[in-house]
Structure 1
């Protein structure tokens, strides 16, 4: 502890230096635009222009973008699809948008680093049975997103956050209420009202199987989703 106390000023100065980057507003490596966007989740992230940032994060859409606010002079936290107009998360093509895709659909995506207001573009490539793409819920599952509903899903949960909550309940008996509020604060610790949805989670045990109940509360609807999980 004494060693840490002796380096307190260095720790503080180094952590504060993370909010400044000498590459800010210099030309991006692509040579087309200036560097304005960093990432709060990448290790030692490099400032990039909008398009390069999107290209780098095609398969990491829940990383928070840090966009330079030229008016107020600070880096503003933002979702993937707010980095650039019409930016969407493409399914079925390793992060790229399907050439036959329709317009992006507003989608709420929940991960361990918060609740994201984003947009998805589903794959519409013809299938062997003549359909325009696989069922949407199946496309989400293949991507690693658990759908909030079978028909026209508007909410999804990264498999990692579901497993994290399952382990939390198994090991620490953590409160579902507190877990939801942590997710909301991870998205925005100061203005939680701006977070797109409010989730509540309850666990039940039916027939020897644990089940997780996620409830999505929106301004116009309240839906419940039942997810079966392995025995604990």
Structure 2
């Protein structure tokens, strides 16, 4: 009880910018970038970065949840909206000479921290693997093998697998917990998680 004010003050501090009030992005070598306005909810580092640095920091972490400081509070923003594109069939950071965007540039990835819109490019060269194989090699289980537009990470499928054994949680309940983690709107239909989970088992 003696420290409740301390706990409350620290919780409220996370709602704002905290000590991160500098106009220089700590990730830019010259420190002359645009002002840092972005932070990641999933990284241990709560530092604010400029848009270029936050995208660069997440080439390997496309399902992290980003927030933008609008001058009064933080708003959610997708890495796709910030310009992050994931290139399959190549090493991370490499570009493809013939990238093929996912069907209608509309790809949804389900992960343990929510449901994410992803800017996804498949390798389109003559020697490339099928889209399904490229997704599987990335650790993403596609909901279909024809023009896949939705996938679930192996991590979230394993998480659901264990949870269903331990707590008997249904696919419906699990899906809605992911919707709540995301934004409460539900980017995909519940049937997709059920289909993917059943195929994974």
Please tell me whether the aligned partners of residues 27 and 35 of structure 1 are also in contact (alpha carbons under 8 angstroms): yes
- Structure with more of its chain in strand, by fraction: 1
1:120 shift after superposition: 0.4
Give runs of aligned pairs for residues 83-162 of structure 1, distance below 5 A.
83-84=82-83, 87-96=84-93, 97-103=95-101, 105-127=105-127, 133-162=128-157
- Structure with more of its chain in helix, by fraction: 2
Cα distance in 2, alignment partners of residues 25 and 120 from structure 1: 33
Q: Normalised by the size of structure 2, how large is the TM-score?
A: 0.86
- Cα offsets for 1:17-57 (capped at 9, x unmatched): 11233434612242332211000000133211111111110
Please tell me whether the aligned partners of residues 113 and 181 of structure 2 are also in contact (alpha carbons under 8 angstroms): yes
- Aligned residue for 1:55, secondary structure, equals helix
* Aligned alpha-carbon RMSD (Å): 2.1
Quick one: structure 1 residues 79 and 125, their matched pair in 2 at CA, closer, same or farther if it must change by over 3 Å? Answer: same
1:67 shift after superposition: 1.1
- Aligned residue for 2:35, secondary structure, equals coil
Runs (5+) with no aligned partner, structure 1: 128-132, 202-211, 216-224
Quick one: structure 1 residues 185 and 57, their matched pair in 2 at CA, closer, same or farther if it must change by over 3 Å? Answer: same
- Aligned residue for 2:69, secondary structure, equals strand
Q: Which has the higher contact order (CA 8 A, sep 6+)?
A: 2
1:79 shift after superposition: 1.8
Cα distance in 2, alignment partners of residues 142 and 117 from structure 1: 19
Cα distance in 2, alignment partners of residues 24 and 134 from structure 1: 47
Tell me the number of residue pairs that the alignment of Structure 1 and Structure 2 aligns.
193
